[in-house]
Structure 1
Amino acid sequence: MTRDFSQDVAAVGDIKAVPTMLDIVCRATGMRFAAVARVTEDRWIACSVRDDIAFGLTPGGELQVETTFCHKIRQSGQAIVIDNVAQDATYCRHHTPSIYGLQSYISVPIRRADGSFFGTLCAIDPEPHRLNTPETIRMFELFADIIGYHLTAIDRLSASEETLLDERKVAALREQFIAVLGHDLRNPLAAIDSGTRLLLKTPLNDKATSLVGMIRSSVGRMAGLIDDVMDFARGRLGGGLSLNRKHDEPLETILRQVVAELQVSAPNRTIETEFDLPASVHCDGRRIAQLVSNLLGNALTHGAADRPVRVRAVVAGAELELSVANAGDPIPPAVLEGIFQPFARGTHRPDLGGLGLGLYIAHQIAQAHGGRIDVTSTAAETRFTFRMPLST
């Protein structure tokens, strides 16, 4: 399959200084043909040309690579400089001068910043010219370096644009995904919830009432799972969880409400609380409630059933310190290491319900508040502690 080098030709064409370089090369040396060429193992393609001898090449035009000196330059990586072919012991019998009728020639390699070979900056003329001087060779090398630098910059810009395009595609896909969760899944769930509410207002026997209760419980669980996946999508795929921080959040009241709600779902468990908080805290109360709910629900699920779960929230120095502790089997060290990673549940207690996103989301909420969550787990106690700086 023949490779298309039009992008390389276009890249050199985009370097505005190249025509000026070729003009300087010709004026400084007396050469009447100069070019930037893309050279590969089997192709020689003109990318930019200054032609005052009617050589006949234009950008995109090709020579058979094996008939050129550039073929050798690509292989050796070294420049070739010939003042007068007829008097040059190395090249006087070479086939290239006789094919193209040249008597003077100079060509230096062009490399990208990573050292990869792109092609050559070359000049030819049917008359002899004095080229093999340090000044001339250095000028060609400098121009070749500049071209290589610009080609590298163009490559990087192109890669950045492709990355940006990919990121935009991912962002669009993310928004579609979140929209599906937020609309297409919630709507039928809301319809089921409304239907069960209507059913409960009609006469039902005990079995039907029990079934409706089970349906409502499943609806609540599904709504919670959708919330978790939406938060996961925002935190993992997007720019993090968004907050609605308020200066006057009644945090203690919020925490007591969370505890009361979970106590209803676990009536046989003991939840002990210790709160010593100011009247209001600058935070997102809804998100802090979600964090505590996840930690407390986790403690009730994994903790020893005959031991209390302790929830403590106090101000320590300039920080809010909130902890949830339970007794029970300690978390294995291997699990503890990745405890805040999404779907971590599957590595520890795969028999339990949920997606394993609760601790991950709690961790994201902590970070969004400029805080952190630490965990310690021993035979005596497992404790999750959330700390965040207090701000005004």
Structure 2
Amino acid sequence: MTQAVTADIAIIGRINAVPAILQVICETTGLRFAAVARVTESSWTACAVLDTLGFGLEVGGELEVASTLCHEIRSTRQTIIIDKASEDEQYCRHHAPHQYRFESYISVPVLRTDGSFFGTICALDAQPTQLKGTAIQPMMESFARLLAIQIESEESAQRTERALHKERAMAEVREQFIAVLGHDLRNPLFAITAGAELLSQRLVDDKQRAIALHIRTCGRRATELVRDMLDFARGRLGAGIPLNLQPCHDLPEALGHVASELQRVHPRRRIILDIGQVGGLLCDRERITQLLSNLIANALLHGDPQGPVTVRATLSDNTFDLSVHNQGTPIDPQTLPLLFEPFTRPISGAPQAGLGLGLYIAKQIALAHGGHMEVTSSAEAGTLFSVHLPADRPATPAAPTASS
């Protein structure tokens, strides 16, 4: 028995309707043997059997295909129906009724939707039975069409299952990639930045100290890029951005610290803070500050250099709201839906730092907290990025999607 035929037997075995079909055929016709057979050019194999006749054939049993009438059905694609083989003008001298000792017989072809031949549904008995001119033939041909549909449906389900197993295996590889990237890149980068920091404090020569500071800056920048790529991999390819949820009683101070750090990097810009009583929010403190840092950095980069960046945070009606506002050229309405896609950048001829992942990661952090992000932009009102997180229940990480 070939591997393909074995697979076909398994498919028929998984179709729940097959035993019922054989039962209906036997009860309707009075025939005591019925089967679904896989018929190829070289073999006849029973895929499902109902035998009260004692024919002696079980699932997986094989017959010499040339010895059966199914061999002829495979060639003609036509139903064969016999009431009494010993008196039938066409089949009284045929070897099959004599070899298998049957008088009444019916067999219909099972054709796939593409026209290819799968096998037959057949039934027989040692006693003659009136089959011709009854509703038996159209009933069994309907069963054959139904079975063909079920076979293809089951094959499609198996392909989907195999694809799912393959995807799960790929997901494991992705998770391993994330772990390797995190360990093999972040650790040496930390050593580089820490070493450069130490050198910058000990070196006396201004030129050498400047080189050490440059190494430290580059190391920190590389660390940020690795962090962004790790977050992208987790959000897009892995199981989502992980959270460490804790009541954050110093959240106002943490948000203020983020703004202060960016203020030092951009001393000529003005960052206005309006932080309400948001202490005690159940959240991942580091992730929320990362989200805010990405939004402020985006506002400083693309907003009006002469205008302020306003940060507001409130906690009311069981919702934590965080927003960053800036004035400047409004965002094209066609671009708004794409802002949170990875590697998205505004159209500009000037080179830009980073990977274009800041807003994507900010949204993933919001989704991981069970919240969402919004953006509005106009010439009159400016550009406003807002984050809304539920504060009345533990956050539930959202499953990543290709369009998130």
TM-score computed with the length of structure 2 as normaliser: 0.78
Secondary structure of the residue aligned to 1:244 is coil
1:100 matched residue in structure 2: 96
2:359 matched residue in structure 1: 359
Classify 1:341/1:93 alpha carbon distance in 2 versus 1 (closer, same or farther; 3 Å). Answer: same
275-284 vs 126-135, greater mean Cα deviation:
126-135
Find the aligned partners of 1:116 and 1:386 in 2 and give their Cα distance: 57
2:392 matched residue in structure 1: 391
Find the aligned partners of 1:261 and 1:57 in 2 and give their Cα distance: 74
2:335 matched residue in structure 1: 335
Find the aligned partners of 2:63 and 2:271 in 1 and give their Cα distance: 82
1:205 matched residue in structure 2: 205
Classify 1:16/1:303 alpha carbon distance in 2 versus 1 (closer, same or farther; 3 Å). Answer: closer
2:344 matched residue in structure 1: 344
Classify 1:66/1:131 alpha carbon distance in 2 versus 1 (closer, same or farther; 3 Å). Answer: closer
State the Cα distance separating 1:294 from its structure 2 match.
Answer: 0.3
Classify 1:16/1:209 alpha carbon distance in 2 versus 1 (closer, same or farther; 3 Å). Answer: same
Find the aligned partners of 1:245 and 1:165 in 2 and give their Cα distance: 32
Structure 2: tracts of 5 or more residues without a match:
394-404
Find the aligned partners of 2:209 and 2:272 in 1 and give their Cα distance: 34
State the Cα distance separating 1:203 from its structure 2 match.
Answer: 3.0
State the Cα distance separating 1:371 from its structure 2 match.
Answer: 2.0
1:344-377 alpha-carbon deviations (Å, 9 max, x no partner): 1275677211111110111111122222211112
* Contact 2:46/2:59 (8 A) holds in 1: no
State the Cα distance separating 1:170 from its structure 2 match.
Answer: 2.0
Secondary structure of the residue aligned to 1:221 is helix
1:131-280 to structure 2, matched below 5 A, reads: 131-132=131-132, 151=151, 154-155=154-155, 158-159=158-159, 161-280=161-280
Q: Which amino acid aligns with 1:281?
A: L
Secondary structure of the residue aligned to 2:94 is helix
State the Cα distance separating 1:315 from its structure 2 match.
Answer: 3.5
Classify 1:213/1:60 alpha carbon distance in 2 versus 1 (closer, same or farther; 3 Å). Answer: farther
2:46 matched residue in structure 1: 47
State the Cα distance separating 1:147 from its structure 2 match.
Answer: 6.1
Classify 1:120/1:387 alpha carbon distance in 2 versus 1 (closer, same or farther; 3 Å). Answer: same
1:299-345 alpha-carbon deviations (Å, 9 max, x no partner): 11111222221112223544322211122222222221211011112
2:396 matched residue in structure 1: none
Q: Which amino acid aligns with 1:190?
A: F
* Contact 1:231/1:361 (8 A) holds in 2: yes
Classify 1:228/1:56 alpha carbon distance in 2 versus 1 (closer, same or farther; 3 Å). Answer: closer
Classify 1:283/1:55 alpha carbon distance in 2 versus 1 (closer, same or farther; 3 Å). Answer: closer
Find the aligned partners of 1:277 and 1:112 in 2 and give their Cα distance: 68
State the Cα distance separating 1:6 from its structure 2 match.
Answer: 2.6
1:292 matched residue in structure 2: 292
Classify 1:249/1:58 alpha carbon distance in 2 versus 1 (closer, same or farther; 3 Å). Answer: closer
Q: Which amino acid aligns with 1:98?
A: H
Q: Which amino acid aligns with 2:389?
A: M
Classify 1:161/1:350 alpha carbon distance in 2 versus 1 (closer, same or farther; 3 Å). Answer: farther
RMSD value, Cα: 4.0
Find the aligned partners of 2:301 and 2:154 in 1 and give their Cα distance: 56
* Contact 1:25/1:34 (8 A) holds in 2: yes
State the Cα distance separating 1:273 from its structure 2 match.
Answer: 1.4
Secondary structure of the residue aligned to 1:47 is strand
Secondary structure of the residue aligned to 1:333 is coil
State the Cα distance separating 1:118 from its structure 2 match.
Answer: 4.0
Find the aligned partners of 2:108 and 2:142 in 1 and give their Cα distance: 10
Secondary structure of the residue aligned to 1:5 is helix
* Contact 1:246/1:284 (8 A) holds in 2: yes
Find the aligned partners of 2:390 and 2:14 in 1 and give their Cα distance: 52
1:70 matched residue in structure 2: 73
Classify 1:57/1:320 alpha carbon distance in 2 versus 1 (closer, same or farther; 3 Å). Answer: closer
Structure 1: tracts of 5 or more residues without a match:
none
Find the aligned partners of 1:55 and 1:186 in 2 and give their Cα distance: 66
* Contact 2:9/2:60 (8 A) holds in 1: no
Classify 1:177/1:348 alpha carbon distance in 2 versus 1 (closer, same or farther; 3 Å). Answer: farther
State the Cα distance separating 1:21 from its structure 2 match.
Answer: 7.5
State the Cα distance separating 1:5 from its structure 2 match.
Answer: 2.6
Q: Which amino acid aligns with 1:100?
A: A
State the Cα distance separating 1:97 from its structure 2 match.
Answer: 6.9
* Contact 2:197/2:213 (8 A) holds in 1: no
State the Cα distance separating 1:32 from its structure 2 match.
Answer: 7.2
Classify 1:369/1:60 alpha carbon distance in 2 versus 1 (closer, same or farther; 3 Å). Answer: same
Find the aligned partners of 1:337 and 1:153 in 2 and give their Cα distance: 38
Secondary structure of the residue aligned to 1:298 is helix
2:400 matched residue in structure 1: none
Find the aligned partners of 1:297 and 1:54 in 2 and give their Cα distance: 79
1:189-234 alpha-carbon deviations (Å, 9 max, x no partner): 1221232133224334222211111111111111111111111111
Find the aligned partners of 1:101 and 1:278 in 2 and give their Cα distance: 88
Find the aligned partners of 2:226 and 2:112 in 1 and give their Cα distance: 50
Secondary structure of the residue aligned to 2:107 is strand
Percent identity over the alignment is 41
